[in-house]
């Protein structure tokens, strides 16, 4: 997922790591549990580290099939916020391109940012009320802007009525292509642009020598899953996102966190 490239992580502990980009963006210290499983024996070290590092929010991306992790998360204060669904497809039967799809340029930043601000409300950040809504809007605006400026290998733009109507961000490494963000403007929905963008990205990945393509979406986002399935994708893994929030310490309050 391209978002992971925006998380400039600073390793500090074997149990958790500070997420520098997240912390700077949201204005308080955010960290992530290392690994996808959680046991009762790990909790003391995790809580001590979070206290010492003045962590306000701790992410956990857990294996969905691990019963102990689910139990420990529920018994403590981890809150379920999302189901991370990964789908993949072979690039062999590459999708067809479209004359209405082109590579993004810097001139596309403003109109695509406007689409991004309202198009990703199924994400875990919107479903956790501790994150300010305006910051969530700005997160995806920032993401698409950074993608156009080079964080993604390519951003494809779909046009309708001579206007930017949607986008899809593409990255690749080794033999695997990866779709990051995809969105279609409200006024352009229902015209099949989502499928056109996905097929155009698969065509691009094939041209780059990729063998397969993966994409991550939310478990609650059934329309997106159906879009990918219609384009030949199958679910390959399911994980659970949890957030744990810690009380503000006197030091955090003094620093305005």
With a cut of 80, say whether residue 95 has pLDDT above it.
no
Q: Residue 189: name the closest of 158, 217, 162 by CA.
A: 158
Under the banding of pLDDT at 50, 70 and 90, the label for residue 98 is confident
Q: pLDDT digit string (tens) for 155-164?
A: 999 999 899 9
**CATH 3.40.630.30 residue ranges in the chain?**
88-238
Beta bridge partners, 212, equal 90, 176
pLDDT at 77: 87
Q: pLDDT digit string (tens) for 50-78?
A: 999 999 999 999 999 999 999 999 998 89
Fold observed for domain 88-238: Aminopeptidase (3.40.630)
- Tell me if 179 sits within 8 A of 217, measured CB to CB: no
Under the banding of pLDDT at 50, 70 and 90, the label for residue 11 is very low
Tokens of 240: 């659970």
- Tell me if 169 sits within 8 A of 180, measured CB to CB: yes
pLDDT at 252: 44
With a cut of 80, say whether residue 39 has pLDDT above it.
yes
């Amino acid at each position: 997922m391209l978002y992971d490239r925006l998380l400039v992580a600073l390793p500090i502990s074997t149990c958790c790591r500070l997420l520098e980009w997240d912390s700077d963006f949201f204005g308080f210290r955010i960290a992530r549990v290392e690994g996808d499983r959680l046991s009762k024996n790990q909790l003391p070290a995790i809580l001590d580290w979070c206290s010492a590092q003045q962590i306000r929010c701790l992410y956990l991306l857990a294996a969905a099939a691990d019963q102990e992790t689910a139990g420990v998360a529920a018994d403590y204060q981890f809150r379920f916020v999302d189901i991370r669904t990964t789908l993949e497809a072979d690039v062999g039967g590459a999708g067809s391109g479209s004359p209405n799809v082109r590579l993004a340029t810097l001139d596309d930043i403003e109109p695509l940012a406007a689409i991004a601000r309202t198009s990703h409300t199924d994400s875990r950040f919107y479903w956790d009320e501790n994150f300010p809504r305006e910051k969530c809007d700005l997160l995806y605006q920032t993401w698409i802007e950074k993608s156009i400026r080079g964080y993604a290998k390519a951003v494809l733009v779909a046009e309708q009525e001579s206007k930017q109507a949607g986008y899809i961000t593409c990255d690749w490494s080794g033999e695997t292509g990866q779709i990051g963000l995809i969105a279609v403007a409200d006024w352009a929905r229902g015209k099949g642009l989502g499928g056109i963008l996905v097929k155009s990205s698969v065509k691009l990945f094939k041209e780059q020598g990729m063998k397969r393509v993966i994409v991550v979406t939310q478990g609650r986002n059934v329309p997106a899953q159906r879009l990918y399935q219609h384009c030949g994708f199958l679910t390959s893994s399911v994980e659970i996102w949890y957030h744990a929030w810690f009380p503000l310490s006197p030091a955090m309050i003094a620093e305005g966190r």
